[in-house]
Amino acid sequence: MTIASSGSDQEAILKDYQPDLILSNIAMLSIYGYNRMRKIRAMPLQDGGTILTIALTAYAH
Q: What is the DSSP string of 5-41?
A: SSHHHHHHHHHH---SEEEEETT-SSS-HHHHHHHHH
Per-residue pLDDT at 61: 62
Whether 1 is covered by a domain: the verdict is no
Whether 61 is covered by a domain: the verdict is no
Determine the structural domain holding residue 22 and report its residue range: 7-56
Average pLDDT score over residue span 9-20: 85
Per-residue pLDDT at 17: 86
Q: Is the pLDDT of residue 3 over 80?
A: yes
Domain tally, the chain: 1
| pTM (2 d.p.) | 0.70
Whether 49 is covered by a domain: the verdict is yes
Residue of 6, 11, 23 whose CA lies nearest to 48: 11
